[in-house]
Structure 1
Amino acid sequence: MFSYRHAFHAGNHADVLKHTVLIATLDHLLEKEAALTVVDTHAGAGLYRLDGDYAGTSGEAAEGILRLLAPAKAAPAPVPGASPARKTPKKPAAETQAPLADALARYLEVVRDFNPNGGARVYPGSPFIVHHLLREHDKLKLFELHPTDARTLDANIAQLEAGRQISVLRDDGFGSATKFLPPPSRRALVLCDPSYEIKSDYARVLDFVAEALKRFATGTYAVWYPIIPRPEAHDLPRRLKTMATKAGKSWLHATLTVKSSKITTDAAGATHRPGLPASGMFLINPPYTLKPLLAAALPQMAERLAQDRNAAFSLDSGG
C-alpha cells in the first residue's frame, strides 16, 4: 500500500486544480479574524524538487505548473467551453493568451513565492501552501503514514520553525483526523486527498467525510479524487453529493480533463496507457466566492494544460 509517491507527480495538472481550489478557499476563510484549523489527511512530503530524480523521471510537471509558467504564446486548439464539459471553436493561431483568471494567477503567485529566483525548481505541496497562507494564531494538522514521506515531511516542516502551530502525525488520516473536529474556534478546513492506490480508499473517503460531518457539520471539506476508468472513481462524487444534500449542506464539484482516458496500441503492437487523464475536487460547505473564481479559471486550465482534443472541464454546485 506504500508504492505511491507524490514526488513523481508533483506539479502535474491534478496539483494545479487541487492547489488552485485550496488557495482560493483559504483566502476566503482567512478573511475572518477567528482562528482557522486546517487538517490535511494525506500530507505527503510537503515540499518537492522539480529538478530532482522523482519529478524529473515522470516529467509530469512539464504538463502542469511549468506549462503555466511558460511565456504566453498562440492559443492551442481546442478551446474548452463551459460546464458541463464541451468545446468551442478553435481560436485564430495568431491570437495570444488572455490574462490569467484571478484564482489561477493567485496560484502562480504562491508557487513563485517559493521560487524567488524564478522558474519552479521547488514545488510546494499542500502543507507548505497552507502554512504559507496561515496566520500565527491558526493551526495546521498533518497526517502522513508512508514511512519515507513521513520522515521527509518531518524534516521539511522542521525547517519552518513553526513550533506548535503545526502538528505532524505519523498516523492514518482516515482513522484519526476527526479527533481534531470541531476545533476550539469552530472553524476548520479539511483536505482529504489520498492516493487511491487501493480501491478501498474510495469507501474510506466516504466514511471519513460522513463521520466528520457528524462531528462538525459547519466545517469546510475538500476532497480530491482521480477520474479514471474505475466504477468507484465515478461513484465517489455522486455519493458525496447525496451525502451533502441529505445533510442540508451546500456543495461544489469541479473537474479538469486534459486528455483521453483510452488505452491505445501503436503500429508495433505496443500498448500505451494514458496516465491520469482527469481529476476532480468536491467541496462541502464551500466559500460562496469559490464558484465564480473557478468559472473563470477552469476554462483557462483546460485550454493551457490540454494534451489532446479531449481537454475539458465541468463545474456544478448545489445546496
Structure 2
Amino acid sequence: MNYRHAFHAGNHADVLKHVVLLALCDALARKPGPCFALDTHAGRGLYALDADAARRTGESEGGVARLLALPIGDPCVARYLDAIRACRAAHGAHAYPGSPWLLAYALRADDRIACCELQPEEAAILKANFRGDPRVAVHQRDGYAALKALLPPRAGDTRFSRGLVLVDPPYEAQLREFDAALAALRDGLARWPHACYALWYPIKQRRALQPFHRAAAALPAKSALLLELLVRADDSPLRMNGSGLLLLNPPWQLEAMLAPALAALRDMLGEATAPASRSEWLKPPA
C-alpha cells in the first residue's frame, strides 16, 4: 500500500473519526472492569502538521485548525479539542494525535490496546511512539487478519468482556474495500460478538454506498448505526466530499449524544452546499 496518513492528518475526516472515537472510549470507561481496544490500521499514531506532507495538502486547515479557532459549544467536540491540546502540550504546538494516541489518552491504566500497521516504516514509528506504554501492543501485520488472530482478546487467563474494534482502512481499492471490511467485521462478530465495531469510510457520492449499507444491515450485530458528515455536495466521484462511520453494537445513548455534534461539525466545517449530517439506524437496538 502507498497510502500515508501524514498527508491527511487533522482533516475533516479525522475530526469526525476522532470525535466519535473519544465518545466510544468514554462510554467504555464509564463502566467498571478493564476493556480492550483493537486498532486495525493504526498508522504511526502521532503526526506533525508542520511537516512537509501535511503542509503539502493543507487539509488540516479545513479540519482541526478551523475548529481550534472557533468557539465550541458541543461537549463532544470540546472533548476532542481538549485531547488535541493535551497532545500538543506533550508533543509540541503542531502535533496531531492519531487513533492509537487517542485510545491511550482516553482509556485507563488497566485497559489494553492492540495496534496493527502493515507498512514497516509506519509500524516502526508506531512502536517507538508507544515504547514506554505497557498497555499498548504494536503488531506489524495485516489489520483485517488481526480480527481473526487477536479476537477474542485475553489478559492472561481472563477474557475481556467489553471493548472496541476500530477498522480504518485506506480504501486504496475504493469500493472493493467494503467487501474486505465487511468480511472482517463478520469474522470479528463471530469471535467477539458483544464488542463495539467502528468502520470508517470515505464518501464521494452517497448513492454509491447503498450496496454497502444493505450489506452492513445484514451483519449479525445487535444494532447498526450510521454517522456521516459531508463538508460539500456529494456530487463528484473524484474527491472525498465527506466520510462516515458504521458502528456495530454502539453503546447505549451514543446516538443521542453524537447527533448534535455531527450537526455542529457540519455547520463549522461544511460549505454552504453541504448536505445535513446523517445519524441513522440501519438496525435499531432491540
Question: TM-score normalised to the size of structure 1?
Answer: 0.82
| Bigger Cα Rg | 1
CA distance in 2, matches of 1:213, 1:248: 7
CA distance in 2, matches of 1:260, 1:148: 36
Q: Which amino acid letter does the alignment assign opposite residue 187 of structure 1?
A: R
User: Structure 2: where are the runs of 5+ without partners?
Assistant: 154-158
Q: Which amino acid letter does the alignment assign opposite residue 213 of structure 1?
A: L
Q: Does 1:104 align with 2:77?
A: yes
Partner residue of 1:302? 266
CA distance in 1, matches of 2:31, 2:232: 39
CA contact (8 A) 1:100 1:297 kept: no
Partner residue of 1:191? 166
Other structure's SS at 2:32 match? coil
How many residue pairs are counted as aligned between the two chains? Answer: 277
Q: Which amino acid letter does the alignment assign opposite residue 196 of structure 1?
A: Y
Q: Does 1:125 align with 2:89?
A: no
CA contact (8 A) 1:45 1:150 kept: yes
Instruction: Answer 1 or 2: which has greater helix percent.
Output: 2
CA distance in 1, matches of 2:151, 2:188: 7
CA separation of 1:120 and 1:198: change in aligned 2, threshold 3 A: farther
| Pairs within 5 Å for 1:163-312 | 163=134, 165-183=135-153, 184-199=159-174, 200-229=176-205, 233-243=209-219, 247=220, 249-263=222-236, 275-312=239-276
Q: Which amino acid letter does the alignment assign opposite residue 253 of structure 1?
A: L
CA contact (8 A) 2:202 2:243 kept: yes
CA separation of 1:174 and 1:4: change in aligned 2, threshold 3 A: same
Q: Can you list the C-alpha shifts for 1:211-233, whole angstroms capped at 9, x where unaligned? A: 11111111110110011249764
CA distance in 2, matches of 1:118, 1:156: 11
Partner residue of 1:19? 18
CA separation of 1:25 and 1:117: change in aligned 2, threshold 3 A: closer
Partner residue of 1:78? none
Q: Which has the higher contact order (CA 8 A, sep 6+)?
A: 1
Q: Can you list the C-alpha shifts for 1:22-45, whole angstroms capped at 9, x where unaligned? A: 100110111122111100000011
Taking only the aligned residue pairs, the percentage that are identical comes to 38
CA distance in 2, matches of 1:140, 1:36: 9
Partner residue of 1:79? none
CA contact (8 A) 2:206 2:234 kept: no
CA contact (8 A) 1:220 1:286 kept: yes
Question: TM-score normalised to the size of structure 2?
Answer: 0.91
CA separation of 1:291 and 1:231: change in aligned 2, threshold 3 A: closer
Where in structure 1 do 4 or more consecutive aligned residues deviate above 3 Å?
Answer: 117-120, 229-234
Q: Does 1:49 align with 2:25?
A: no
Q: Which amino acid letter does the alignment assign opposite residue 180 of structure 1?
A: L
Q: Which amino acid letter does the alignment assign opposite residue 276 of structure 1?
A: M
CA distance in 2, matches of 1:182, 1:279: 29
